[in-house]
Amino acid sequence: MTQTTGLSGNQKRKMRSASRLYAVQALFQMEHSGQTLDAVCVEFLNHRFGENIDDITLQEGDSDLFQMIVREAVNYQAPIDQMTDRALVAKWPLGRIDPTLRSLFRAAGAEFLQSDTPAKIIIAEYVDLAAAFYPAGKDAKFANAVLDHMARDARPDDFQ
């Protein structure tokens, strides 16, 4: 378990951002490999968080946040997918969305439903991830619009 006690605010933010990235990757991996929730969590916690791969040290993550996102995305997948569908235009049902974006929407949806992180922070974090996955920018703008709609659906009080 990754401890965040005694870390600076900037270090904690980096760890939370890394945990969100790992959660999106884990959800994508589960969808495409058929791995179980427990198997993918163990793999990521043991072989991604802070690991050195080909002389590149991966960012350490907040294991509690990572596990919460992945577990709640799985536990609440149906309501999250319904929330995402409501945010998409009729011509673009969730099944037509790129699998990486689908995983990103599910991770963000888990946070909207199950965390106390402000919705605007969740949106900003996942838009940053979308921009990293899709550097051309168009998909990040699309993700921003969908995430904003999802957040307003899940947490209308955050936008009063």
Answer whether residue 159 is part of any domain. no
Within 10 angstroms of residue 83's Cβ, the number of other Cβ atoms is 23
pLDDT per position as a tens digit, 93-147:
667 788 999 999 999 999 999 999 999 999 999 999 999 998 877 888 889 999 9
Answer whether residue 100 is part of any domain. yes
Answer whether residue 2 is part of any domain. no
Answer whether residue 5 is part of any domain. no
CB 76 within 8 A of CB 105: no
What's the pTM? 0.90
CB 124 within 8 A of CB 15: no
The residue with tokens 């997948």 is 77
Answer whether residue 20 is part of any domain. yes
Eight-class DSSP state of 92 = S
Q: Give the whole-angstrom CA distance, residue 151 versus residue 159.
A: 9
Q: How many domains does the chain have?
A: 1
- pLDDT > 90? residue 59: no
Query: What was the pLDDT predicted at 2?
Result: 54
pLDDT per position as a tens digit, 71-87:
999 999 999 999 999 99
At 43, which CATH number?
1.10.940.10
Answer whether residue 1 is part of any domain. no
Helical residues (DSSP H) of 48-154, grouped into ranges = 63-75, 77-87, 99-114, 119-133, 138-154
- pLDDT > 80? residue 4: no
pLDDT-wise least confident of 2-11, 37-46, 99-108? 2-11
Give residue 41's domain range: 10-154
Q: Give the whole-angstrom CA distance, residue 22 versus residue 76.
A: 18
Per mean pLDDT, which of 6-20, 131-145, 146-160 is the most reliable?
A: 146-160
Answer whether residue 122 is part of any domain. yes
Answer whether residue 54 is part of any domain. yes
Query: What was the pLDDT predicted at 7?
Result: 78
Please tell me whether residue 52 adopts helix, strand or coil conformation: strand
Query: What was the pLDDT predicted at 5?
Result: 66
